Structure 1
Amino acid sequence: MTTRRSWGASVGLMLGLGLLGAASATAAQERTQLEAFVTGFPAELASRTRDASLPRLLSGGDEAAYFNMRASEFLPTAILPVRQPVMPLATAIEPRIGEISAETMNFGEMTLDEYLALPESYVQSFIVIHDGRIVFEAYPRMRPEDHHLWMSNAKVTASLVIDLLIEEGRIDENETLGTYIPEFVGTPTGDVTVRDALDMTTGLNSDENPETRADPNSIAIRTFNAEFGMPHDGAPERLIDVLKDAEPVREAGEAFQYASATTQLLVYLAEAVEGKRWPDTFDERVWSKIGAEAPFQVHLTPDGVAIAHGLVSSNLRDLARFGMLYTPSWTEIATEQVVSDAMIRRIRESVRSTDFFLGGYNGPAFQAIFDDDTMLSNSRQWDIVWPDGDMWKGGLMTQGLYVSPDRDLVIAYFSVNVGDRSIDRFLRPIATSDLLNGGD
């Protein structure tokens, strides 16, 4: 992959647009319909992707499609093998789920079936699991066995590891990061509490908003530079050194500040407490308990740090299996309970106020994605918690994981779409529909 000194502000813009559903920066570009890549990519595209700048890899075009499904060709990767016999998912297909409709961002009101069939949706796969059984599944633009980047869906893997350590008494969420991570002692980063890192309310200047995305010297952009080995001021930086440079810009706990850099603080926290690399901890505590279909890929920085805020890969059913850990049907896909009832209560009961959620840039943007003002706030790396306790995490280029513990429901999906997050708008109608709640 070609190194470009000027990529920083550009990729920050792409990250912002992809997550928050603004108008696509690449809308005017022609791109191949994803149907053409289902059985593989042409050699010419593979070569072109290796030479692409990082913004191009994240902009939703052909190179982005290749990168999403072949990330291990670009980054060092830890492979977490399948350690349990596969635990197959039962099926009880309910085709009427495809008839549920939503108002899309750019195409008017459509049913789920219609939107998935629309080439311009760029949705590659979509699955709904209810009471431990697959009730809807579609692969319009990828194969079921293919790996795909989770993007920011991965952030909840980092918070889960920390909550496991909190449950064991190894971490006190009211203590500071400096209590556990020696390299952060004496820095503003070291003064951030674990709870504030979990909830993305550090008060530091590492958040992602239009101003920081446009600044090649911002912590946000330097974070992405460091993770891909790209230079800053002429030389690559270590990720931990970038995080140590963050400075306070507001009181911690004052407002929701979405930041991939904040998730990486949780990675360093887990490594400091466990004395192990993050992929090994996640494997031991989470992945090894799941009867997955395929190995889990954790992509790494040049110095071997897991990029757990977004760069992990699996097939769609295994993403859904991870979501099922938060539901009563964990028994169908895991050998032991990983996510306790107490952990779910912490996610729900730790929710801060809606004013907190709307006090920064990202909360209002999430409301706009869903065209929904009923959401409460974010919590413990989950982007949204609703009053009924349902949770959602979204990722760049329109990946998503929706979990309803009380309804025993998981919805997961992969896409390569920067400019249109309409698929997210089907989640609440599906979750609240009579089809899944005892009606006809």
Structure 2
Amino acid sequence: MNEEFIGALEEIEREKGISKEIIFDALESALISSYKKNFGTSQNVTVDIDRETGKIELFAVKEIVADEDVEDDSVQMTITDAKKLDPKFEVGDIYSKEIEPAKFGRIAAQTAKQVVIQRIKDAERDVIYEDFTDRENEIITGQVQRVSYGNVFFDLGRTEAVLPQNEQIKGENYKQGDRFKLLLLEVKKTTKGPQVVLSRSHPNLIKRLFELEVPEISDGIVEIYSIAREAGSRTKIAVFSRDEKVDPLGACVGYKGARVKAIVDELHDEKIDIVIYEKDIEKFIANALSPSKVEKVFANEKEKSALVVVPDYQLSLAIGKEGQNARLAAKLTNWKIDIKSVAQFEEYLETENLTEEDVIKLFSVVEVEENEDLTEEIIEPENNLEDLTEEESIEEIIESDEDSEDIEEELENNEDFEI
């Protein structure tokens, strides 16, 4: 029996990841609870379970006191009764009596069972929470289990996860049994246990998919600078290489487009534009508006806004359907972008009576050097006293002083005053 018990605990440990020690503690607590249910108190009971053999020993413990000092016979024993059991007992000794758990009543046994089951459930929830918390923001593969009120529930093996409506790709169908790659967005603690929240629309899903498909990104040779995504429709991703010998665009696209195609297939034909990140913001903005060609970019660093000029026939391409291309480029660069065709730009110059050089000046920012001390500005006097005669100099000083009357009196009384 005990061997079977230990074997069952080992099986639970393997399947659920719950330590045997947790189950032993749960069982000890259950036996104490059932003893209390049966005898009305748990103050005088101790439980000992051998971790190797599974042998369970339950003892009722009573303190031996003088006959007249007995207050609670459930936790105390008179010295007279103790002497009947063993003449060696003295006042203050502890008497232990072994109890067979099998003799507990049906209600007590049911209480023990509930305590053990609840403790195992709590332990399993804690294990699942810790396991999935460590995997937040990672790719996870799940199988559609059911769809309820717009939310999709996925079977992750050890637990169930939810894909809320606001994290789904618009227009994507989720049928029972279908498998998807999802981003593990968040793990919440609830009264019903850990709730795992998934996402198919988050930009980080694109990042993780590229890390899976492109070894250069997972190795850190090629890095992703930023991602702008409108899930189910289009995504722009800016990349750069830390190794001059590695082409970041070619690495992401792969041979005959195999790498990017695998990602597009996983996202059910969502369009992906891969652009090169440049430190020069004007070049980066031009790249971000791909596939449109860009003639000129006027950037205002202070306001993070840019005026972009594109060929007349490329204007609609640069803006995109319902402004999508321009909107994604703005998100990718984190800049406000105003797009004009060549004809519109020339009309703008004519209307505002500006030249192209004037536009450059308007968008440029004059920076003050950090070490420049503006408080040391020297103000030249309007009149130079060196160019005045002696009498004119004295009159200039008198006129500039607030106490001019006092100075005049002093000059009249002091014959030795010299300039």
Same fold by TM-score, threshold 0.5 exceeded? no
Higher RCO (C-alpha under 8 Å, 6+ residues apart): 1
Higher strand share: 2
TM-score by length of structure 1 reads: 0.18
What is the TM-score with the length of structure 2 in the denominator?
0.19
